[in-house]
């Protein structure tokens, strides 16, 4: 990033922090000798946004390597847990309710608007199918790990929403994780399990994907990769390269209309549609309908000229990080079961290696190179945040394709994660 732009970001971040601290000082004076508490919805929302902004600024300004292993997402989730458990912010607030009811659907509408399945297939070819096989591996791994955990008595059957939640992250990304959690009506402890396991596995799995580049030649011989495949992908990437630009005021208004209308229609339809039960268990509730409807409507819109509107993804990611902070604020440490979290993490390691086996089988079946394999797995497990990192390490020219592949994960993640969670629910109830 140019030095002038870094200076601008640092300066604006400092101004934002100063304004926020001024608000805290004014509130502290007004509360007198009482413990510091932020209770108004506006104050709570400001705190959540400030937390998200602070950690991204800190990552960029400090350059600390710790963020390579414990990304801002984890800190954004953990900090509100501390603040709510110490009484600075409440466990319950209209701000959290609003983000869950409307912020999450708005995120989905904005994020999926840029999905380009055709572009990803043109570049990665059969690699897209390898990624989808990896998604199936995530589903099978979740069901297998859950079944194993409850059969040997180390996991309570009631933790099935945590498996659906983490499936969302490992098929699509952070947004899918939160969407699945909301659609499955998960509790804060389920998100805590999923978030901790996600990061504990990530710090092991990401180095494996990066290190796989060293075995490119041997892997390609084993998988019988056709000669010239990588060069063909690079040429296809150049042909579909697209540069985004800063949106105009009119374009921002168009994005707002699309996202708000999609959310509004989905909420109205969800309220009118019946809940569906299977085996005595509710498998599609009103919350589930909202997520499924927003996803489906936006995927249809992504095939229209609306997908050319710039600026949707940065806005979407800003929303989801604030939502992550609000989920953390719900978590009551007094109710946390550390033993259950530990066993869930252990199950997640079993789960990830099942995904790895599926990815390897897919690469062998479709005869794709190790670069594609690593990007396909990263598009699943790390989503749009990690896939470009892995792609840049393997082949810089494949970075745009990795983003497209990750967006396909976003597109299918909501459907498959909800299905995975409900399968676990039915197994636990059997």
Q: Who has greater pLDDT, 37 or 430? A: 37
pLDDT at 296: 92
pLDDT at 259: 94
**In a shared domain, residues 275 and 296:** yes
pLDDT at 331: 78
Please state the rounded mean pLDDT for residues 47-60. Answer: 89
**In a shared domain, residues 145 and 88:** no
**In a shared domain, residues 78 and 117:** no
**In a shared domain, residues 52 and 148:** no
pLDDT tens digits along 94-115: 999 999 889 989 988 998 888 8
**In a shared domain, residues 170 and 76:** no
pLDDT at 203: 78
73 in Cβ contact with 124 (< 8 Å): no
pLDDT at 255: 94
Please state the rounded mean pLDDT for residues 145-174. Answer: 93
**In a shared domain, residues 222 and 264:** yes
**In a shared domain, residues 271 and 290:** yes
- Residue 177 confidence (pLDDT) above 80: yes
Please state the rounded mean pLDDT for residues 65-90. Answer: 85
Tell me the residue range of the domain where 38 lies. 3-97
Q: Looking at 97, 124, 149, which one is the last position of a domain?
A: 97
In Å, what is the CA distance from 278 to each residue of 100, 132, 269, 285, 425?
26, 27, 21, 12, 10
**In a shared domain, residues 205 and 91:** no
Least confident range from 42-56, 361-375, 391-405: namely 391-405
Q: Looking at 39, 67, 97, which one is the last position of a domain?
A: 97
- Residue 4 confidence (pLDDT) above 60: no
* pLDDT range class, residue 242, cuts 50, 70, 90: low
Average pLDDT, the chain: 85
pLDDT at 121: 74
pLDDT at 101: 87
pLDDT tens digits along 393-422: 887 777 777 877 888 888 888 899 999 999
pLDDT at 10: 58
If one counts the domains in the chain, the total is 2
* pLDDT range class, residue 354, cuts 50, 70, 90: very high
Predicted TM-score of the model (pTM): 0.78
Q: Looking at 54, 73, 97, which one is the last position of a domain?
A: 97
**In a shared domain, residues 83 and 119:** no
* pLDDT range class, residue 429, cuts 50, 70, 90: confident
* pLDDT range class, residue 273, cuts 50, 70, 90: very high
**In a shared domain, residues 18 and 153:** no
Place of tokens 């304004």: 19
**In a shared domain, residues 274 and 303:** yes
- Residue 359 confidence (pLDDT) above 90: yes
pLDDT tens digits along 179-203: 999 999 888 889 989 988 988 888 7
pLDDT tens digits along 224-241: 888 777 677 766 666 555
**In a shared domain, residues 129 and 160:** yes
pLDDT at 74: 79
pLDDT at 180: 92
* pLDDT range class, residue 150, cuts 50, 70, 90: very high
């Amino acid at each position: 990033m140019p030095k002038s732009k870094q200076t601008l970001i640092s300066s604006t971040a400092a101004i934002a922090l100063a304004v926020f601290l001024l608000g805290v000082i004014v509130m502290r004076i007004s509360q007198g000798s009482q413990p510091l508490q932020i209770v108004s919805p506006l104050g709570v929302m400001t705190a959540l946004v400030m937390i998200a902004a602070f950690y991204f600024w800190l990552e960029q300004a400090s350059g600390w390597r710790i963020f390579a292993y414990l990304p801002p997402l984890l800190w954004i989730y953990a900090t509100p847990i501390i603040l709510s458990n110490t009484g600075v912010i409440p466990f319950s607030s209209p701000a959290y309710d609003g983000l869950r009811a409307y912020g999450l659907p708005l995120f989905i509408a904005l994020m999926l608007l840029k999905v380009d399945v055709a572009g990803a297939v043109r570049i990665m070819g059969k690699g897209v199918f390898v990624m989808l096989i990896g998604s199936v591996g995530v589903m099978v791994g979740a069901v297998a790990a859950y079944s194993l955990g409850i059969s040997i008595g180390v996991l309570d059957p009631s933790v099935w929403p945590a498996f659906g939640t983490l499936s969302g992250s490992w098929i699509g990304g952070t947004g899918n994780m939160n969407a699945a959690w909301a659609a499955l009506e998960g509790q804060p402890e389920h998100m805590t399990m999923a978030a901790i396991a996600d990061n504990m596995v990530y710090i092991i799995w990401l180095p494996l994907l990066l290190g796989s580049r060293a075995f490119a030649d041997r892997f390609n011989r084993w998988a019988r990769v056709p000669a010239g495949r990588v060069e063909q992908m690079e040429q296809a990437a150049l042909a579909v390269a697209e540069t985004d630009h800063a949106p105009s005021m009119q374009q921002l208004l168009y994005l707002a209309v699309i996202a708000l209308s999609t959310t509004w229609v989905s909420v109205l339809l969800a309220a009118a549609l019946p809940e569906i039960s299977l085996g005595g268990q509710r498998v599609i509730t009103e919350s589930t309908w909202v997520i499924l409807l927003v996803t489906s409507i936006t995927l249809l819109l992504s095939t229209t000229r609306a997908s050319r509107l710039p600026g949707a993804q940065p806005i979407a990611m800003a929303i989801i990080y604030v939502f992550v902070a609000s989920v953390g604020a719900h978590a009551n440490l007094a109710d946390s079961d550390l033993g259950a979290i530990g066993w869930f993490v252990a199950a997640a390691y079993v789960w990830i290696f099942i995904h790895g086996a599926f990815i390897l089988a897919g690469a062998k079946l479709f005869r794709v190179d190790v670069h594609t394999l690593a990007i396909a797995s990263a598009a699943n497990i790390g989503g749009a945040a990690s896939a470009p990192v892995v792609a840049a390490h393997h082949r810089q020219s494949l970075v745009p394709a990795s983003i497209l592949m990750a967006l396909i994960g976003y597109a299918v993640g909501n459907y498959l994660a909800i299905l995975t969670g409900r399968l676990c629910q039915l197994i636990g109830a059997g």
